[in-house]
Amino acid sequence: MPRVEIGQHLVIDPEICHGQMTFRGTRIPVDTVLTFLAKGYSLDQLLRSWPELTRPAVQEAITLAARTLQAQLPTPAQGPTATITEIAA
**Contact indicator for 33, 47 with CB cutoff of 8 Å:** no
Give residue 22's pLDDT: 94
Domain spans, the chain: 4-66
Where does the chain show beta strands of DSSP type E? 4-6, 10-12, 21-23
Tens digit of each residue's pLDDT (9 = 90 or more) over 25-69: 999 999 999 999 999 999 999 999 999 999 999 999 999 988 888
- pTM given for the model: 0.75
Class of 4-66 per CATH? Answer: mainly alpha
Give residue 79's pLDDT: 53
Select the more confidently predicted residue: 86 or 43: 43
Best CA proximity match to 43, nearest among 29, 23, 57: 57
- Residue 12's identity, in one-letter code, is I
User: Taking phi first (over 0 means left), then psi (-120 to 50 degrees means alpha), and beta for anything else, what does residue 81 get?
Assistant: beta
Instruction: Report, as an integer, the average pLDDT of 82-86.
Output: 60
Tens digit of each residue's pLDDT (9 = 90 or more) over 12-21: 999 999 889 9
